Amino acid sequence: MSTARAIAGRLVNPIGLGCMGLSHGYGTPPQPDEAGRVLQAALDLGYDHFDTANIYGAGRNETLIGETLAHRRKEFFLASKTGILFDGPKRGTDCHPDSILRSLDQSLARLRTDHIDLFYLHRFDPEVPIADSVGALVRAIEAGKIGAYGVSEWSAEHIREAHAAHPMAAVQTEYSLWTRNVEIAVLDACRELAIALVAFSPVARGALANGLRDPDTLRQDDIRYSHPRFRPENWQKNLALVDSFNALAAGAGVTPAQLALAWVLSRAPFVHAIPGTTRHDHLEENFSSSTWQPGKYLLDSCDALINQNTVSGDRYPEPMQRTIDTEEFINNSNPH
């Protein structure tokens, strides 16, 4: 039986590849040659959904994908994003129509393609009417430059408004056992409107992949360095949850990453996950999660162990949190 799931009118494996870490985000990235080998290995394994953005490595991630995979472009579903402004500690958004279309042309050039299958607005821009931003994306669809559009870290209210202007294909947001914000309203909106939900950081930025024991070893250019959940005042509590989760995975005969990904995919048949990695062995480990279905008791045990009431610390530092439109829990429990 096929495990494929639909996104933007195309069936893909529900485990895709988040490409950011190959160029940016988690300390020193691999050299371009090695990063290219990771991309080639992913395609050879069967990955057919690759996700990038114009800001990842200031365009270097799109360039890497273009240089490495342009000759195999027909073999995969390609997603990219625009709309975040990033200048050191300063973060902002720009979803003006002219900016969207100019950024799209730049992404197409870096990716060495004339068509991006899915183009996201990376963040919500409160300064621009939603209909104006969507109108620019519709023009890009009509021009054949993109196949469909999506949004990232938007609230259910704004998703509905955009979808009413023109049907949306996907919503991308952080979703894992320890980040459940989509369960407040976005997951239901996607279900109602037949929109795919694409979960980034589905293994909790490595915490649920047994990939980090001591955050004190993180470099300052690793985004986790400033994230509250990895700070000393919260990490020891979270590490205790991780250890219990690792024991559940061991009891099931799978790795923690496989259990974490299987849990995310179990939430709904329209949910996709895009874990990132720089390692060939992790590519295979993650990809196999799409064919394993844990039992209800195990899923419920995971659900009860790690959730918004048991995890310690906010998911983002305050400057980053101000750019997030997705509904948030207050005091680890009540949504707003």
Residues catalogued as catalytic: 56
* DSSP for residue 179: B
Query: What type of residue is 5?
Result: R
Tokens of 8: 């933007």
Residue 215 to residues 191, 208, 230, Cα–Cα distance (Å)? 37, 14, 6
Query: What type of residue is 309?
Result: N
Query: What type of residue is 231?
Result: R
* DSSP for residue 14: S
C-alpha neighbours within 13 Å on the C-beta side of residue 131: 2
Residue 79 to residues 7, 65, 73, Cα–Cα distance (Å)? 11, 11, 12
With 0-12 / 13-18 / 19 or more C-beta atoms within 10 angstroms meaning exposed / middle / buried, residue 61 is buried
CA 243 – CA 156 distance, rounded (Å): 34
